[in-house]
């Protein structure tokens, strides 16, 4: 049944106007005066036509649209009986929006607009009331509704409503996250009070409150790390209380809105509280006691939230217990009587002093703890003896000063064989201390491999685990066998002597012997000081000076680390003979240099060498005064001539020259000429250089 909502509002407004006018304070406002209606009430405008033209006859506020005008005009405003209209407008915040039902009933015409878009259109002059419902989705935020009504002839009535659709099948839009959240905490009651602003959704059912520990790991607002603390029923107000655990930790809270379809919003901005700490840590676990001579070492697993630990001891299980000390670590060392029972207990305390329950353990004072294993084994091996040395980690001082010692073991071969260990009797002099020691073994087999290990032993006979093994090749008096594959290859920069590697395992180096055959057929052997090693091939050397066609004998022997080696005349030693190439120039140049001293390299081969070089002085004033420059020439065998290495003359003040164009692996022949202004030569110096390509 249609009622007269507007008529009641207009009547009340009229009564107020009469009272105010009687008091002389206010006169009735004209129909065109500006009227502001607070959302969500309607602003109603009444027109004396059906085109909404001209100035409204009345502007007022309506809480609802539900009018029955009968066959007359609206009360409280002068309008024609027929052909008048009413326009209602309203803007309101729809929160998260969602699905709505727009329901309209009118005789005669009604049109409904949402944000200016027509959603209902029943614009007809009809004899009976017409009804319709439009289903729309309203976006989040503030939107404007407008209802236009026209009464043409006869009876007139109009009604309109908008309501959210709250079935779960129709509404899947989350409410907006609550805003304006704040939190306070009472240390007296240990409760947190949360407050927030009310949501604007029309279909709001209530709120849920969630809590989690701060910095509890990766999380999402919809994740399982949040715990709902508001219970099963929804909160209908805008505040709630919670009692977080009294752990002294920081807790985060958020509020989520829930609509009538069961949709839950995202969480609000997090708010924080820090609870008072009245929670003791958990008791330590895994408490053990280890005897070590006159000491007992307690160890345990740490307790969460523990800042320190208190350690107690007593001579009997019933006490009295004495506080030995506190520690921030999870171990404690204390003096203890030898072979005497002693009772210990440990408890954890947090930063505020909340104590945990005790963990207890009993010690018997028996030393069952072996020392730490020795480390850093090394050896000095000689023929007839092997000296093994080692280091001992910290903590052996007291044991050693009370007759602690070391045991040295040996087994044959390159791996330590526990079943074949021999205890070594160390020969004098030996040297042992709390930080390490040495042992001379005179009983090891010669010329083979043995493996050593060392253990530390405390006064109670507890022996440490064996050290890491040390493999040693023992000494001998046997020279390595002959070297195979010896070859001597003449080259333009000398004779390359090479050989195959010895298969023996104690080779330290190779010795190259250079032999000269005498007139009587005998050979004089010299350790070859004119042979040069390179960097890339340890089984080759480059021997000789200027390749001038000389003949040489070569022998290579292996020398072991005990300085055993065969002589070059030894049995089975390979001797090779090689004749040098003759690379000397076919043109003879006379040296008549008398200007000053010279210096040059005859053999150049190191990796830092830029090339053959010469340096000279000019101290003969009579001749040097006539010199205007110098010329350096190099023998070109293909052209059978000496050719200058530079254009023009080197300046008169030049005193050195390096041939950077020379290639390694060849012998070179040079002339240095001091030239006068008329082109004549004041002096000529001749020299040669082998630019070796050493392997």
What was the pLDDT predicted at 545?
87
Q: In the structure, what pLDDT confidence band is assigned to residue 25 with cuts at 50, 70 and 90?
A: very low
CA–CA dist 311, 348 (Å, integer):
9
CA–CA dist 28, 17 (Å, integer):
6
Q: What is the largest CA-CA distance in the chain?
A: 161
Collapsing DSSP states into helix, strand and coil, what is residue 327? Answer: strand
Please state, in angstroms and as integers, the Cα–Cα distance from residue 211 to each residue in 187, 228, 253, 262, following that order. Answer: 18, 6, 5, 20
Domains defined for the chain, CATH in brackets:
5-164 (2.60.120.260), 182-274 (2.60.40.10), 285-363 (2.60.40.10), 375-473 (2.60.40.10), 487-579 (2.60.40.10), 598-691 (2.60.40.10)
* Neighbour-count burial of 320, counting CB atoms closer than 10 A to its CB (0-12 exposed, 13-18 middle, 19+ buried): exposed
What was the pLDDT predicted at 695?
82
Mean predicted confidence (pLDDT) in 387-401: 95
* Neighbour-count burial of 558, counting CB atoms closer than 10 A to its CB (0-12 exposed, 13-18 middle, 19+ buried): buried
pLDDT at 30 over 90: no
* Neighbour-count burial of 13, counting CB atoms closer than 10 A to its CB (0-12 exposed, 13-18 middle, 19+ buried): middle
CA–CA dist 307, 351 (Å, integer):
5
Q: Where are the alpha helices (DSSP H) in 287-340?
A: none
pLDDT tens, position by position, 109-129: 999 999 999 999 999 999 999
Mean predicted confidence (pLDDT) in 608-626: 93
pLDDT at 65 over 50: yes
Mean predicted confidence (pLDDT) in 528-554: 89
| Nearest in space to 238 (alpha carbons), one of 206, 214, 190, 215 | 206
pLDDT at 334 over 50: yes
Q: What is the dihedral of CA 229, 234, 236, 242, to 10 degrees?
A: -10
Average pLDDT, whole number, for the chain?
91
pLDDT at 364 over 80: yes
Mean predicted confidence (pLDDT) in 61-89: 92
Element (H, E) at 374: none
- Describe the chain by its helix, strand, coil percentages, rounded to 5: 5, 45, 50
pLDDT tens, position by position, 658-693: 999 999 999 999 999 999 999 999 999 999 999 999
> How many Å separate Cα 609 from the centre of its chain?
46
Q: How many residues does the structure list for the chain?
A: 695
pLDDT at 517 over 50: yes
- 51's CB contacts (< 8 A; 6+ apart) are 85
Contact 362, 289 (CB under 8 A): yes
pLDDT at 436 over 60: yes
Which residue, chain included where needed, has tokens 């895994």?
286
Please state, in angstroms and as integers, the Cα–Cα distance from residue 649 to each residue in 446, 598, 626, 673, following that order. Answer: 70, 19, 14, 10
- 225's CB contacts (< 8 A; 6+ apart) are 212, 216, 217, 219
Q: Give DSSP secondary structure letters for 494-521.
A: EEEEE-PPP--TTEEEEEEEEEEE-TTS
Phi, psi of 295 (to 5 degrees): -125, 155
Percent of the chain with pLDDT over 70: 94
Mean predicted confidence (pLDDT) in 560-580: 95
Question: 325: left (phi > 0), else alpha (psi -120 to 50), else beta?
Answer: left
What was the pLDDT predicted at 248?
84
CA–CA dist 255, 210 (Å, integer):
6
| Nearest in space to 479 (alpha carbons), one of 572, 576, 381 | 572
The tokens describing 139, both together, are 């976006």
Please state, in angstroms and as integers, the Cα–Cα distance from residue 157 to each residue in 85, 114, 154, 257, following that order. Answer: 11, 22, 10, 39
What was the pLDDT predicted at 218?
44
CA–CA dist 685, 591 (Å, integer):
5
Adjacent-strand bridge partners of 687: 670
pLDDT tens, position by position, 193-226: 999 999 999 999 999 999 999 875 444 444 458 9
CA–CA dist 397, 634 (Å, integer):
75
pLDDT at 10 over 80: no
The tokens describing 592, both together, are 């008549």
pLDDT at 279 over 60: yes
Which residue has better confidence, 531 or 110? 110
CA–CA dist 653, 670 (Å, integer):
20
List the Cα angle 32/38/39 in 5-degree steps: 120
Q: In the structure, what pLDDT confidence band is assigned to residue 291 with cuts at 50, 70 and 90?
A: confident
pLDDT tens, position by position, 84-107: 999 999 999 999 999 999 999 999
CA–CA dist 196, 204 (Å, integer):
15
Q: In the structure, what pLDDT confidence band is assigned to residue 608 with cuts at 50, 70 and 90?
A: confident
pLDDT at 23 over 50: no
Mean predicted confidence (pLDDT) in 609-618: 94
Mean predicted confidence (pLDDT) in 329-358: 94
What was the pLDDT predicted at 139?
96
CA–CA dist 479, 560 (Å, integer):
7
CA–CA dist 506, 489 (Å, integer):
28
What was the pLDDT predicted at 521?
87
Mean predicted confidence (pLDDT) in 511-521: 92
Which residue, chain included where needed, has tokens 């030894």?
570
Which residue has better confidence, 139 or 3? 139
What was the pLDDT predicted at 33?
54
CA–CA dist 245, 251 (Å, integer):
9
Mean predicted confidence (pLDDT) in 404-417: 97
pLDDT at 500 over 90: yes
| Nearest in space to 351 (alpha carbons), one of 436, 449, 247, 433 | 247
Adjacent-strand bridge partners of 257: 207
């Amino acid at each position: 049944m249609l009622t007269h909502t507007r008529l009641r509002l207009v009547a009340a407004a009229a009564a107020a106007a009469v009272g105010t006018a009687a008091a002389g304070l206010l006169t009735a406002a004209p129909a065109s005066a500006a009227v502001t209606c607070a959302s969500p009430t309607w602003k109603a405008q009444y027109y004396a036509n059906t085109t909404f033209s001209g100035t409204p006859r009345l502007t007022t506020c309506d809480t609802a649209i539900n009018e029955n005008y009968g066959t007359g005009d609206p009360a409280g405003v002068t309008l024609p009986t027929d052909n008048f209209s009413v326009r209602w407008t309203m803007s309101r915040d729809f929160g998260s929006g969602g699905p709505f039902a727009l329901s309209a009933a009118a005789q005669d015409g009604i049109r409904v607009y949402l944000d200016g878009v027509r959603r209902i259109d029943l614009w007809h002059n009809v004899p009976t009331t017409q009804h319709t419902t439009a289903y729309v989705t309203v976006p989040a935020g503030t939107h404007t509704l407008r209802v236009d009504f026209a009464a043409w002839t006869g009876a007139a009535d109009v009604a309109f409503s908008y309501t959210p659709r709250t079935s779960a099948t129709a509404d899947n839009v989350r409410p907006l996250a609550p805003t304006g959240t704040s939190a306070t905490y009472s240390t007296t009651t240990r409760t947190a009070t949360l407050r927030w602003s009310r949501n604007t959704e029309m279909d709001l059912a209530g709120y849920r409150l969630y809590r989690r520990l701060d910095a509890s790991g990766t999380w999402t607002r919809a994740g399982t790390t949040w715990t709902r603390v508001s219970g099963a029923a929804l909160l209908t107000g805008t505040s709630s209380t919670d009692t977080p655990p009294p752990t002294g930790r920081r807790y985060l809270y958020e509020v989520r809105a829930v609509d009538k379809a069961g949709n839950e919003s995202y969480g609000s901005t997090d708010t924080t509280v820090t609870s008072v700490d009245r929670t003791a840590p958990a008791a330590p676990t895994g408490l053990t006691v280890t005897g070590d001579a006159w000491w007992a070492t307690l160890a345990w697993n740490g307790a969460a939230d523990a800042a320190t630990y208190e350690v107690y001891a007593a001579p009997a299980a019933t006490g009295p217990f004495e506080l030995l000390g506190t520690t921030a670590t999870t171990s404690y060392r204390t003096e203890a009587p030898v072979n005497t029972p002693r009772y210990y207990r440990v408890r954890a305390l947090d930063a505020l002093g909340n104590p945990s329950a005790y963990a207890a353990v009993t010690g018997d004072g028996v030393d069952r703890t072996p020392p730490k294993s020795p480390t850093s084994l090394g050896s000095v091996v000689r023929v007839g003896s092997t000296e093994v040395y080692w280091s001992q980690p910290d903590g052996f001082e007291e044991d050693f000063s009370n007759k602690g010692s070391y045991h040295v073991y040996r087994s044959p071969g390159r791996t330590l064989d526990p079943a074949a260990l021999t205890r070594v009797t160390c020969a004098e002099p030996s040297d042992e201390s709390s930080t390490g020691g040495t042992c001379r073994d005179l009983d090891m087999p010669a010329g083979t491999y043995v493996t050593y290990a060392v253990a530390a032993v405390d006064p109670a006979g507890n022996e440490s685990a064996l050290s890491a093994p040390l493999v040693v090749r023992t000494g001998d008096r046997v020279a390595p066998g002959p070297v195979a594959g010896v070859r001597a290859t003449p080259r333009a920069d000398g004779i390359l002597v090479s050989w195959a590697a010895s298969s023996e395992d104690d080779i330290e180096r190779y010795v190259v012997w250079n032999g000269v055959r005498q007139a009587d057929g005998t050979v004089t052997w010299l350790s070859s000081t004119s042979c040069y090693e390179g960097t890339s091939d340890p089984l080759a050397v480059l021997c000789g000076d200027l390749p001038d066609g000389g003949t040489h004998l070569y022998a290579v022997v292996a020398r072991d680390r005990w300085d055993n080696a065969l002589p070059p005349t030894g049995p089975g030693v390979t001797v090779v003979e090689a004749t040098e190439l003759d690379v000397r120039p076919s043109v003879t140049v006379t040296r008549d240099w008398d200007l000053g001293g010279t210096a040059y390299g005859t053999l150049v081969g190191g990796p830092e060498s830029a090339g053959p070089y010469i340096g000279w002085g000019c101290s003969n004033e009579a001749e040097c005064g006539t010199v205007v420059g110098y010329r350096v020439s190099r023998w070109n065998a293909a052209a059978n001539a000496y050719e200058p290495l530079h254009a023009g003359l080197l300046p008169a003040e030049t005193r050195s020259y390096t041939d950077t164009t020379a290639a390694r692996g060849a012998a070179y022949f040079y002339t240095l000429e001091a030239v006068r202004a008329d082109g004549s030569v004041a002096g000529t110096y001749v020299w040669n250089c082998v630019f070796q390509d050493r392997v």
